[in-house]
Amino acid sequence: MPFWIELIVSLLLILGSVFALIGALGLYRLPDFFTRLHGPTKATTLGVGSIVIASMVFFSWRNGTPSLHELLITIFLFFTAPVSAHMMAKAAMQQKLPLNDKTQGKPWE
């Protein structure tokens, strides 16, 4: 395997897993539900997206033909992450979850 392909794949993999880890860290240590929502919707989506793109580059080289179907997972994740975040936020507002003291403004309902 040529060095530069290996380099690209490795960089994408490391970048992706670091972002996934940051998303999980945000989920673990931020104070209330609505702040926790930010980590997974952004960091985890991009992290997993770049891991999947690394796999795309790897298999394209290995099979000798372009292997684009991993792109489907990335696109799907980018479409669905905001939708599920929105649904969970609505559920949380309806259940009147406790908020961080410093929150400005009010949720609905």
Q: Which of residues 36-75 bind another protein (CB under 8 A)?
A: 36-48, 51-52, 54-55, 58-59, 62-63, 67-73
Asked if 34 touches another protein (CB under 8 A), the answer is yes
Q: Which residue has tokens 């999980």?
A: 24
H or E segment to which residue 38 belongs: helix 38-39
Is residue 70 a contact partner of residue 54, using CB atoms and an 8 Å limit?
A: no
8 binds another protein (CB under 8 A): no
Using CB under 8 A as the binding rule, whether residue 102 contacts another protein is answered as: yes
Q: How far is the CB of 57 from another protein (least distance, A)?
A: 10
Report the nearest approach of another protein to the CB of residue 61 (Å): 11
Minimum CB separation from another protein for residue 98, in Å?
8
Tell me the number of residues near another protein by CB under 8 A: 85
CA neighbor of 44 nearest in space, from 20, 8, 77, 17: 20
Minimum distance from residue 24 beta carbon to another protein (Å): 4
Tokens coding 42: 């952004």
d(CA 20, CA 89): 21
